Chain A
Amino acid sequence: MTATQDRPAAEIGKDRRRKEDQRLITGRTRWTDNITLPGMLHLAMVRSPFAHANITSVDTEAAKASPNVVAVLSGKDFGEELGACINAWPITPDQKTPVHSPMPAGRVAFAGEIVAVVVARSAAEARDAAELVDVEYDELPAVIGIKKALEDQVLAHPDLGTNKSALWVFDSGEAGTGTDAEAAITEARANGIVIEREYRQQRLIPAFMEPRSVVVDPTGEQITMWSATQIPHILRFALAATTGVPESKIRVIAPDVGGGFGGKLQVTPEEWVAWAVARRLAKPVKYTETRSESLMAAHHGRDQVQTLTLAADKDGKVTGLKVHLDADLGSYVAIVGGGVPVLGAFMFNAIYKFPAYRFECQTVLTNTTFTDAYRGAGRPEATYAIERLMDELAAEVGVDPLEIRERNWITHEEFPFTTVAGLEYDTGNYEAATAKAKESFGYDALRAEQKERRERGDRVQLGIGVSTFTEMCGLAPSRVLGSLDYGAGGWEHASVRMTPLGKVEVVTGASAHGQGHETAFSQIVADRLGVPFEDVEVLHGDTQVAPRGLDTYGSRSLVVGGEALVKAVDKVIDKAKHLAAHLLEASEDDLEYKGGRFTVAGTDQGVAIQELATAAFAAHNYPEDMEPSLDADATYDPVNFNYPHGTHLCAMEVDTETGAVKMRKYTCCDDIGTIINPLIVAGQVHGGLVQGIAQALWEEAVHDEAGTLVSGSFVDYLLPTAADTISFDVVHTDDPSICTTNTLGTKGVGEAGTIASTPAVVNAVVDAVRHLGINDIQMPCTPERVWRAIQGSRAGGATDTPPDAMPHFQEGALNQDEGAGQ
């Protein structure tokens, strides 16, 4: 649209306070749990205390006799109308996918699985009666931990005959995107450097603020489900596909949703059970989980063992990388469960020019809570592995970790660059981001202080960690998803409606749950359409208001949904121009569009977009060849992912006496292309950083040998608060690398902080004690683990184990806790 290009961008780039925040912060809004319908009944779930067991009987008599109980139902009370929880991404044609019933009648496969549901007039009465349901189990041996699962001695699902679900392989030699990684490793063993490591991605819990909640109303022609979900559209699709109710009879509403972080990118057993009960009883029902249930039964994230081999020449130029992942799916292959590690497959080569690359991912089933997307989904794991390895390579070569990266990274002149994983990075400038981060961080001064403390033998040692990350986001080109056997596309949809009095309703298929879409999208429309920011209303999260959409995850809303919006706005302007020309009795070619107004060039004649909206509504006078409406829709399918990047630098202090770690300074310089709202970006970066730092230092979901979640409350699952973090130094490059594959030039930022920060922190902790002979500390780097590493090390000198002789799975190796990767 040339018409809009000469307008100054008044809104884009402005620090707008988020228009949704007042209602979100004060709670004066609709959350699922505060929806109350006439005659609504309440559900309480009866959950298995065992990780693996046959259900031998379910005695519901006492529960049914409890006050105000309407029904008590278990799996055997339902047939096919109960539906199934689907896996939308079978990563290989021969993937082993256990049947996932929302409420199994025969066998439970993790502790916390639903075995019965109590329906009562109040939530308290349902809860009371749930304790009276007497379920008898025949306990089966449970398999917990990746390494045990790989042995196939105990099976998570005996009928499958194995715990191994799928093996997904990418080989640059075979794909023609690079050379053979094995050959590079062989060569490096003879004449170069080989770094071999096993890293553990611990299991994490998304721990969104609002627990999951669902209301189902079967009254009337359509069945309505309100759910605290990230994915109302996918949810409707899955309900229709698995319960036999046509899509046109289903309305799904995600009202305001209190966070998700991937944890609400799921079709959940709780939703399916609520759906089936509401239909069975023909009454509205509500279920809201407790925090304990949420921690135990909402999907978990990460949980991989990464076996890594990096080959380089003697100068530290990487010649090949081989990655083998073993990824714990938990008890079922959740909606995109198997695909999460595969999303990382394209990112292990990160910002570097590796000539050879091989990636294998073995997914395994265990009797634990099922795993799926968690902020970053696959890319944090990849970034962690490669950024830790690059620090190890730097130590081996004996150069600064930034120097080793520079020897390997893609220089800014080399874009667009096709990577060894086959992706085309459009733009980037790693040199600029690194230079700016270094300066803001005070890199040289901190290195000098580190040296001084080492020499002095200070009790508190200083370490500096580097993470120069990139990621692929803006999920996703539909054809690429198709080639990966993903069950849906990656497009997004937008509608722009001009109301009769000249306001603008924007409908987006993205489904915000705290990100600030309403503000950012209003800014985009205000600029492009030339209307006041306040006049734009953004509607979303209801399949009847926004019938087309693929929801919010994978840093996609702005870069995919925003582009759909731009295209819809442009169509509105085109229509308006046609009407304006008619009303002004001028040629379209003579019209200029500026500040929301068409003017006839060289005259003072003009008409505002609001007047045109009224004119289209009245429809008293409009061209023969147009319908009396300015409204427009657009569906945008991205042509590529986009590739934000950044340099993150972290300084950590380590108390060598207690093992306690403390953050001293954190600087990040992210290059995310055009920034629509710097305040929202800062919020995303800050929150993202804390989540990534939390993986490095605090969070870990632990199941014991029986499969009971030990970290089952916030007393044991350590979430940080503002009191645990420092003030971050967040900067951006002066001359950002504008994305070339969307009109606004934006790149995703929702996951950047989480992806980048984890390795920066662990690299800093390791760097603080590397001179003591330590080259790894398992996450989370608890004081105890740090202390034990120091205890186990021999003081003085660098690592004396030749890296090429460091075997995987070394018995009793440093920091490989007994529990690690079990």
Chain B
Amino acid sequence: MSASNLPAQPDGARERIGVYVCHCGSNIAATVDVEAVRDWSAEHLGDRGVVVARDYKFMCASTGQELIEQDIKELGLTRVVVAACSPHMHEKTFRGACRRAGLNPYLCELVSIREQDSWVHTDRTAATAKAEAIVAGGVYRVAHSEALEPFRVPIDPATLVVGGGIAGISAALEIADAGFPVHLVEREPSIGGHMAQFDKTFPTLDCAACILTPRMVTAGMHQNITLHTWSEVTDVAGYVGNFTVTIKHRARYVDTALCTGCGICQEKCPSKVVDTRYEAGLGYRKGVYTPFPQAVPKYPVIDVENCIYFEKGTCGACKKLCPTGAIDFDQKDEEVTVKVGNIIIATGFELFDARRVEQYGYGRMPNVFTSLEFERMSNAAGPTAGRIVLRDGVTEPKAVGIVHCVGSRDRNYNNYCSAICCMQSLKFAHLVREHTDATVYEFYIDIRAPGKAFDEFYQRVMEEGSVFVRGRVAAISDTVRLPDEEAHQGRLIVSVEDTLAGVQRRIPVDMVILSSGLEPATDAQEVARRFGITCSADGWVIERHPKLDPVATMTEGVFAAGCALGPRDIPASVANGAAAAARVLARIQEGELALEPIRATVDQERCSGCRICNDLCPYSAIVYHGWEQVSEVNPALCQGCGVCIAACPAGAISGSGFSDVQILSQIDGLLTALGGAPPGPAVEEREAVPA
């Protein structure tokens, strides 16, 4: 097919197209002959409507944008093609320039000659020819572009925050303080997250409870915050500005209207179990419990799996002894539905399961502890009342080994650095030295202490006399191997190469603390699916842009904060929470939101109701109307990815901004420029042919 086969543009309304080729400094110009592309476009694309072609060093600079604006006004351009970087980078920029000059922004096409050309080729001649073809594709396509208007959706002023750790609490407080309602959902009986388990926090060693409790209490009493603890989100429907969220309140078996939080039930409950959650397995709790005394809310829950009444139908001590009669064994799980405009995911992290590194013997050797166990042990309110002791509960250790990078920076487990554990290990060294006379060894690969006052803390710990051994621990054993270890029978022996001395060492200690890495919550992928967001293979929520949009997700109206995004410390989690809140508040203030009009639409006449598209949509944007047997795209959820369009066997779905005719024209442009005549009928005829 030659160029003449293409649908002629409406007579008299022939488009006037401007082509702008960017050098991107030398990013493009070093590999692509930019001037040649400019001249070629002017010469060969004139019959396709190109009336002007220019090149410029940085099209995205304000001077570059002004070139376009000027041409639109002076030459009466009706279409613009910019050949530069990926649309991810600057599509908005150039569309903005068009809008300022009075041209509908969707009549501007950005084609990539950097990511798809200059960066991936070395042959200048071939790269230049490819750039010409890419420009031609853009020119052919833009002629079929339509002027589009963004969708406007109203924003519900309420916000859902999922996860009541420090990140979630911070976000909730910011929004609530600004005067807007927040639903804070936490699956444990109390908010607080991991921070509630700590004694001191690095690097300043503030008492965790002292700084966290006031925030928890404020959140609990805030008139704009509705707490949903012991709860989980089970369903999310709708779209940005208009989400409908179903929250399941698990039965507490305690009537919160009557309970005063006196604690008598906990005191009297005869069922005592190891608390693997809050006490990290180092302490006990009762069958009816609040995880810790400062819990918010203060109401206990009954753990039915460990309650004698639920197991055998007897006991009922709590019910008999509760002074207000608040215990209610007949309570049922309840579901509530709330409407929110935005969502913040702050589901935090879980500690890497140290049993997986079997050579460290956690679970086999009693005096190997995890970092969270040690946090509880060093906590004055913890199971040992802050005494640093071995598993026997009485003996103070004479030597303690702290093992870095457990399950992190290791291709056998997690390949990433967990970021906080070096500092946490240093904190532990300080705490051990503070409470005991023990020798402390830090076994590390690298000390990663890049935060404010972090390295100074490292130096302080060295000054306090902790011993630093640079070497990743190979194994921990409780078995004497060398004859001269006889004296250390019954202790733990840490095998390590002291890499700075270049020798293998076997260091006897009494206690080992494993600085386990951070992992996403076990149900992270499931949560992500429910909220329509994506996680990396590791399970951390993916940011919309890792640098420039670090608390937004790919889904409009869903933000993330804290360790849900990846390992980070408390200050960063708090900052994230505030940042996500700021983004949400800006939306609420605007009252409505403009959405990209690049959307798919289903032609209801053509739709056969096969439902193939329904499950393919990655954003769950397609609804099926059973009674009419047709599918429909919810424009507020659709992100314009095009999957459904390609999949529809009836060819019933088309996309504004990427119609078949646009895409086929672009292909024709590419092929024509490359000298190959594309086979097959003209675009107009093919348009109706299903993909």
Instruction: State whether these chains interact.
Output: no
Residues of A within 8 A of B (CB): none
